[in-house]
């Protein structure tokens, strides 16, 4: 790994980042009662699957700070990304749009300026919020330094370790330092929105070790035997078509999970990276408390996409299996009464819901073209009889032909997957009620021909409406009927 010598103060310029503080732009709210509007801290991790939290009770992972946040807030147990890859998912978080509506489908594509002005950070800044971004930007090489009051972000994947004053410092820890530096500039006189976007627990792709946590976590899990998932074997994999067998996900499985020793090492490294994020969250909350900001600061914690830990003979993400698309979500509002704390919600919530949710918390109307829905009623325990019963998944980045493009529909019971770029589309159908591990593809079962047709028709309805949608129009979005 290339080592870079720097001080904490000049860390930004050395790796091509930029930081700055600009004047606050006053919008519709102006200076009227600014302290009454809540501050918002939005934390987005990278490749953290939904069950990689201690409070989910699935893996022997220790996340005391995140567990405490969930116990005091709302834990969403069925939260998903609409595209399981970094750049597209991050654009969906910012815009509240599906991929084909925001157009960010390649790593080289930045979010266009005309699209950025309708993101939640741009709208919040225009309405009197002081905005900050720290961490991985992930959408093209052009960084939106001038679009935030404080920007300390980097393009691409970045590196975990940096030489600072002759000592190795871990990126997650450095990002924690930078987050605290920003918070220390916040006086409480006006609201702020801080976005923290970690690299963890993403692997370091070109490093043979893959998972590079801070060495201070090396002692964690040393005596723990990580359980092997039910589908983390070759039996489930052998029935898949050649374009999955020869895919990038299979090649990465060889690197990370092909032997029991690799599996244990990889899973423990992955969890140790999350431990670094957990400590970052503890530092953020302590700083908010110390500055008297905690009682008016909403914290939202989630991830850009999920991650295979060997399930279905795969590594990485991209495919529409639950391990790849299901992500954590915790929303903590300190203004909620104690009796509303520690609740769990089972509704299907999505990455595109975050932008309208943040705007709703801030009292700012969402653009009509946004396709997500505010989660504020669910946080506040208000009834929603009209909540979504299905949603659309899309993935188009092929990684040089190594990852198959796919689309699909997931509802409360069924999942339909359609791999597109072939002479005849390859389809999968799973009964999530009877087969939550998705072991049996029912697409060729005569008994389920009717269900397959229904799901295929729903896919057509979604692709038709999304293909015609104008995200800049004045018509309010509604899911296809």
397 falls within a domain = no
Answer yes or no: do 370 and 418 share one domain. Answer: no
Who's near 416: CB < 8 A, 6+ residues apart?
Answer: 408, 409, 410, 427, 428, 429, 452, 455, 456, 458, 459
Which phi-psi region, left, alpha or beta, contains residue 401 (left: φ > 0; alpha: ψ -120 to 50)? left
Residues 137, 224 within the same domain: yes
CATH of the domain at 460: 3.30.1120.10
Residues 426 and 344 in one domain: no
Mean pLDDT of 217-235: 92
β-bridge pairing 426-431 and 39-45: unpaired
Residues shown for the chain: 481
For residues 59 and 150, state if they share a domain.
Answer: yes
* Domain co-membership, 261 together with 410: no
Which residue(s) pair with 163 in the sheet?
A: 5, 168
Instruction: Answer yes or no: is 142 within a domain.
Output: yes
Least confident of 158-167, 170-179, 238-247, 427-436: 238-247
Q: Give strand pairing partners of 331.
A: 74, 300
Q: Which of 24-28, 197-201, 232-236, 324-328 has the lowest mean pLDDT?
A: 24-28
Please check whether residues 328 and 420 belong to one and the same domain. Answer: no
Does some domain include residue 137?
yes
Rounded CA separation 294/396 (Å): 41
The answer to whether residues 354 and 409 belong to one domain is no
The pTM assigned to this predicted structure is 0.92
Decide if 413 is inside a domain: yes
22-35 per-residue burial string, b: 16 or more CB within 10 A, e: under 16:
eebeeeebeeeebe
Q: Answer for the pair 91, 366: CB distance below 8 angstroms, yes or no.
A: no
pLDDT of residue 80: 98
Whole-number Å distance between alpha carbons of 382 and 146: 38
CA distance linking residue 420 with residue 319, whole number of Å? 13
Pairing of the two strands 390-395 and 130-136: unpaired
Count of structural domains within the chain: 2
The reply to whether 1 falls in a domain is no
Q: Print the domain residue range for 435.
A: 405-471
Asked whether residue 338 falls in the same domain as residue 414, the answer is no
Q: Does residue 396 fall inside a structural domain? A: no
Which contiguous run of DSSP H or E holds residue 120? helix 120-126
Whether 426 shows a pLDDT value over 90: the answer reads yes
**For 273-282, what is each residue's pLDDT tens digit?**
999 999 999 9
Q: Which two tokens stand for residue 331?
A: 């929303």
Question: What pLDDT, in 10s, does the model give residues 290-312?
Answer: 999 999 999 999 999 999 999 99
Q: 260-290 vs 171-183: helix axis angle to the nearest 10? A: 10
Q: Residue 265 belongs to a domain with what CATH number?
A: 3.40.720.10
Evaluate if residue 319 carries a pLDDT over 60: yes
């Amino acid at each position: 790994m290339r080592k870079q010598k720097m001080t904490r103060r000049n860390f930004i310029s050395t790796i091509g980042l930029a930081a700055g503080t600009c004047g606050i732009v006053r919008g519709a709210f102006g200076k009227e009662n600014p302290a009454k509007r809540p501050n918002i801290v939005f934390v987005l991790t990278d490749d953290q699957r939904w069950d990689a939290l201690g409070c989910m009770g699935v893996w022997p992972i220790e996340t005391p700070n995140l567990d405490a946040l969930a116990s005091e807030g709302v834990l969403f147990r069925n939260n998903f990304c609409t595209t399981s890859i970094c750049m597209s998912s991050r654009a969906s978080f910012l815009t509240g749009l599906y991929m084909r509506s925001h157009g960010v489908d390649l790593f080289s594509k930045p979010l266009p300026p005309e699209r950025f002005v309708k993101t939640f950070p741009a709208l919040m800044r225009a309405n009197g919020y002081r905005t900050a971004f720290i961490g991985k930007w992930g959408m093209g090489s052009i960084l939106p330094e001038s679009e935030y009051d404080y920007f300390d972000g980097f393009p691409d994947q970045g590196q975990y370790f940096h030489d600072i004053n002759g000592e190795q410092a871990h990126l997650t820890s450095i990002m924690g330092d930078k987050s605290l530096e920003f918070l220390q500039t916040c006086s409480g006189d006006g609201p702020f929105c801080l976005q923290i976007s970690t690299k963890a627990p993403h692997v370091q792709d070109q490093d043979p070790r893959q998972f590079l946590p801070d060495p201070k976590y090396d002692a964690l899990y040393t005596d723990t035997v990580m359980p092997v998932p039910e589908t983390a074997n070759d039996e489930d994999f052998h029935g898949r078509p050649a374009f999955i067998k020869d895919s990038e996900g299979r090649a990465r499985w060889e690197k990370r999970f092909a032997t029991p020793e690799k599996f244990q090492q990889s899973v423990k490294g992955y969890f140790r990276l999350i431990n670094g994020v957990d400590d970052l969250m503890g530092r953020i909350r302590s700083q908010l408390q110390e500055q008297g900001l905690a009682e008016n600061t909403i914290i939202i914690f989630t991830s850009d996409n999920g991650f295979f830990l060997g399930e279905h003979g795969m590594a990485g993400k991209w495919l529409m299996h639950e391990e790849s698309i299901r992500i954590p979500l915790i929303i903590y509002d300190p203004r909620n009464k104690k009796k509303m704390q520690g609740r769990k919600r089972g509704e299907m919530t999505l990455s595109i819901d975050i932008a309208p949710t943040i705007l709703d918390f801030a009292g700012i109307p969402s653009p009509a073209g946004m396709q997500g829905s505010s989660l504020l009623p669910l946080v506040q325990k208000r009834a929603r009889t009209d909540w979504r019963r299905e949603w659309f998944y899309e993935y188009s980045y092929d990684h040089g032909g190594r990852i198959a493009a796919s689309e699909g529909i997931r509802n409360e019971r069924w999942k339909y997957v359609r791999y597109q770029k072939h002479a005849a589309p390859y389809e999968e159908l799973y009964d999530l009620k009877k087969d939550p591990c998705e072991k049996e593809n029912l697409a060729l079962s005569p008994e389920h021909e009717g269900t397959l047709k229904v799901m295929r028709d729903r896919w057509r309805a979604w692709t038709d409406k999304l293909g015609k949608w104008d995200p800049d129009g004045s018509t309010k979005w509604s899911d296809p009927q």
